[in-house]
Amino acid sequence: MNNSTSDKITVETLRNKIIEFPEGLPGFPASRAFVMAQEPEERPFAWMQSVSDPKLTFAIVDAYAWDKDFSLEVDDAALEEMGSLDPLDYAVYFILHIQKQENRTTLQAKPNAPVLVNVRNRQARQVVVSSSSTTEKAEALCLQL
């Protein structure tokens, strides 16, 4: 899946919409539905907020915006289960690990487990990517505030 989904499509179609993880989000099996919340000035970042537990939130970033060279190989069987084999139907996000220290905040992507969302039916799934130079690069791109 090398085609990058344009940021515009992703944002316009998913903003404030509910996405569903039919198998639950690993580690949070009770949370299957999440709202993609994003203010325009937050692009390409967004919040993924659990519908059943409003206090559970993840910060995410469009994978291709975080690392323009990022590419992802996903098994066709997995894509088929999500309802489309067309790479252009998918938005790809990294979950961010936010660390607040005394006077700075660090954001680091988790590129080994990107979240795939079929923007047409809003089915989501977290996939495992084996470590590669691409994922290492994406992980090394740290943002400090």
- Judged by the rule CB under 8 A, the positions of this chain that interact with other proteins are 25-28, 38-39, 41-47, 49, 54-59, 61, 76-77, 95-98, 105, 107, 110, 112-113, 126, 128, 130, 143-145
Taking the complex as a whole, how short is the minimal distance between the CB of residue 61 and other proteins, in angstroms? 8
Taking the complex as a whole, how short is the minimal distance between the CB of residue 128 and other proteins, in angstroms? 5
Cβ atoms < 10 Å from Cβ of 40: 7
Contact indicator for 126, 111 with CB cutoff of 8 Å:
no
Q: Which amino acid is at 135?
A: T
Taking the complex as a whole, how short is the minimal distance between the CB of residue 114 and other proteins, in angstroms? 10
Radius of gyration of the chain (CA): 14
The Cα 93–Cα 89 span in angstroms is: 13
Taking the complex as a whole, how short is the minimal distance between the CB of residue 66 and other proteins, in angstroms? 8
Residue whose CB is less far from other proteins, 51 or 59:
59
Pick the closest to residue 38 from 7, 14, 56, 64 (CA basis): 14
The Cα 105–Cα 59 span in angstroms is: 13
Taking the complex as a whole, how short is the minimal distance between the CB of residue 13 and other proteins, in angstroms? 19
What is the biggest distance separating any 2 CA atoms in the chain, rounded to whole angstroms?
Answer: 46
